[in-house]
Structure 1
Amino acid sequence: MADSTDHQVAIVGCGIIGRTHADTIAARPDATVTALVDGDAAAATALAARLKEAGQPEPKVYDDLTSALSGSNISLVAICTPSGTHAALAEQALNEKKHVVIEKPLDVDLTRARRLGAAATRAASHGIVSSVISQHRFDPGSALVSQAIRSGRFGQLTSAVATVAWWRSDEYYASAGWRGTWAQDGGGALMNQGVHTVDLLLWFMGRPVNIQAQAIRAAHHAIEVEDTVVATLTFESGAVATLHATTAAFPGGRTRVSVHGTQGGAEVENDRLRRFNVDGDKEDAPVDAGEPGGHKAQYDDILRAIADGEQPGITVHDAIDALATVRAVYIASTLQRPVKFLDVLEGRYDDVEVSRGIGLPPS
């Protein structure tokens, strides 16, 4: 059994990403999965067997989070359910004074996200930690770029380019009823596949001011949401960026974030640093920044924050900014005009029905 000083973890949602969290926790000396929550008993039982085969104590299985919280001595809850359920479950756990890790995105609804943000702030005042998975901030290459930006080694930032060019098949979208729906997926290529890249873009460039966009269904016509989107963003610094995400690119496409300044720049491709120029030097600086950190690196940060009584590197409020940016892209596409980020963040567009703005490419 887990040592009394270990974190006893409940994983809520036992699908693909739940297995990732379970494997990450199982490899740690300071945390043990003791509870699994899923309305699909077969999924929970399969994950319990996976953990047992890995030499872990067999966790208890529950139908819902309420039962798990009352039936186990849990200190940390990992939310790995469909995106549209994240905020409500996280708020429930915080209200029970449990630390919370939420898989990306934070949620798909900004009203729920704001409510969770308030709950997270209240919980933090009592030493309760909440964080949202944005593991690529912990990749060594991305961290090096962020440090260079904050120390001014790129000079004046002028622009950035962020792209996610992936393929997802029709079978992928059909594999779970929530995929490709507005209610539970909250969007398509940008909300699901691209939100990590949005988070990196904001980490590097700061908050956007204005956003304009076009989102379409280019290849996957059975889904409700977009499979391709292009946006332009203007930031508080005056810099601009293009943002592109698609799940309709022939397999083999890449994820890339390029940052450009007057004294240098960098390019992170597929989570690795590929180019790095600083201090006006035309020669590339060494780019072997190390292996991407993955979920392990973020769990290191979260459990350190709990132990030290500090806030984690990525907070719920950071994730709200990323969600608001994605929503701003959808709103701008729907309205076919630029929108202000703060107007979206503060709820002035909450009544816009973005689903009517996503369709076939304009004729």
Structure 2
Amino acid sequence: MNDFPTARLAVIGLGMATKPHLEALEQLRGRVEVSGGMNRTRAKADAVAAAHGWRVFDDIEQIAGDPGTDGVILATPPDQRLEIVETLARAGKHILLEKPIERTLAAAERIVAICERHGVTLGVVFQQRMRPAGQRLRALLNEGRLGTLALVRVDVPWWRDQSYYDQPGRGSYARDGGGVLISQAIHTLDLMGSMTPPVRAVQAMTATTRLHRMEAEDFATAGLTFTGGAVGAITATTANFPGGQESITVAGTLGTAHLRGGELTVNWQDGRSESLGQAGGTGGGADPMAFPCDWHRDIIADFADAIHNGTLPAISGREALRVHRLIDAITRSAAEGRRIEMPEGD
């Protein structure tokens, strides 16, 4: 971390998704300070504030007008984002968003445009980018060590029981924007997109299995064509009891790399093999928060540095649009029963 003044961040939205944020912020005390918290349910805000020694903000306008707040960690459900972002960005507050940016591609693009128009830093929490094994795989691909890319496979075999979807709005288009794609698989799809050439075409299907009562999909599969000629396949579900670890397999002309959870295994065509990291928990089972806070800590620390450096964060809002475009293409392909061509220059 660079030697800069302490970043002062407010936390908006104190539900389940903020558990690793709260742990990470405790570890970052001195480098990042919390100016206060806010939640739609005041009792929740009071409880969290009392536990961590925070101030409680009454409303968004109070945060926007607070000179002691440099930026915010925004972890509300996606359907609550647009107005909040507009108010904060207009006030010059930098924003670190929990994924997804918003429910639809159009709304996500609007949020990115708002922040760019007001000149504030917008970061998105895709914490899987911070896993050392994933960073090692990205380096192997960037350096061309696996040879010419031929095949990419993504598997997200997760599990959520019905009680998860019984919570109001879960798995709905109105609140979440969809099901397994935008709420769970988005992390692994973002990680894939950060290390592969752009996807050029998608052919997909989605479904809701008999294991869940929910509006949106709990299963999705898609075939992909990448720029440069490689092909790929995606399978994502929350109906795979008891839940397994997500994986990305990348095959090139010189070797094949398999990233499963936090463990990377590389098998070279010449007979060598190597491994890095360990599987670890990533929230694929019944407990969605069964993973360490280390990756969130690194995301928040990087965001604080970006604010003070005037540089882009590790995952900027504009960069995060890439995975939103992919999910939009998968969803449209499944709904329309046809191949979807991705926009040039994505």
Kept in 2, the 8 Å contact 1:75–1:98? The answer is yes
* Corresponding letter in the other structure for 1:9: L
Work out whether 1:95 is the aligned partner of 2:90: yes
In the alignment, the residues of structure 2 paired with residue 50 and residue 246 of structure 1 have an alpha-carbon distance, to the nearest angstrom, of 36
Q: Which residue of 2 aligns with 1:16?
A: 16
Map of 1:179 onto structure 2: 170
Query: What do you get for the CA RMSD once the two structures are aligned?
Result: 2.1
Give the Cα separation in 1 of the matches to 2:155 and 2:259. 11
3-state SS, counterpart of residue 78 of structure 1 = strand
Distance, in Å, in 2 between the alignment partners of 1:24 and 1:210 is 38
1:355 aligned partner: none
1:300 shift after superposition: 2.4
- Distance in 1, Cα, partners of 2:279 & 2:310: 29
Correspondences of 1:211-230 after superposition (within 5 Å): 211-230=202-221
- Per the alignment, residue 338 of structure 1 pairs with 339
CA distance in 2, matches of 1:93, 1:271: 35
Structure 2 unaligned residues grouped into runs of 5+: 281-291
Q: Distance in 2 between matches of 1:112 and 1:78?
A: 19
Q: Which has the higher contact order (CA 8 A, sep 6+)?
A: 2
1:294-347, CA deviations, whole angstroms, 9 ceiling, x for partnerless residues? 10121222222223221112111111111111111111000011111228x8xx
Checking the alignment, whether the CA contact within 8 Å between 1:108 and 1:323 is kept in structure 2 is no
1:285 aligns with 2:286: no
CA contact under 8 A between 1:107 and 1:323: conserved in structure 2? no
Equivalent in the alignment of 2:34? 33
- Tell whether 2:236 aligns with 1:235: no
Alignment partners' CA distance in 2, 1:99 and 1:196: 22
For residues 219 and 278 of structure 2, the distance between their equivalents in structure 1, rounded to whole angstroms, comes to 31
Q: Scaled by the length of structure 1, what TM-score is found?
A: 0.85
Question: In structure 2, how many angstroms separate the alpha carbons of the residues matched to 1:180 and 1:286?
Answer: 36
For 1:44, the equivalent position in structure 2 comes to: 45
Identity of aligned residues (%): 29
Task: State the TM-score, normalizing by the size of structure 2.
Answer: 0.89
Measured at CA, do residues 286 and 268 of structure 1 come closer, stay the same or move farther in structure 2, by a change above 3 Å? closer
Q: 1:64 to 1:118 in 2, by over 3 A?
A: same
| Cα separation, 1, equivalents of 2:343 and 2:57 | 40
Question: Contact 2:262 / 2:279 at 8 angstroms: preserved in 1?
Answer: no
Query: Secondary structure of 1:342's partner?
Result: coil
Q: Note if contact 1:22-1:33 (Cα within 8 Å) is conserved in structure 2.
A: no
List aligned pairs for 1:1-363, cutoff 5 A.
5-28=5-28, 29-51=30-52, 58-71=53-66, 73-124=68-119, 128-175=120-167, 177-273=168-264, 275-277=265-267, 280-288=269-277, 293-342=294-343
In structure 1, distance between residues paired with 2:107 and 2:83 = 7
Structure 1 residue identity aligned to 2:332: I
State whether residues 135 and 294 of structure 1, in contact with CA within 8 Å, keep that contact through their aligned partners in structure 2: yes
Q: CA deviation at 1:70?
A: 2.3
Instruction: Tell me the number of residue pairs that the alignment of Structure 1 and Structure 2 aligns.
Output: 329
- Whether contact under 8 Å (2:212, 2:239) holds in the other structure is no
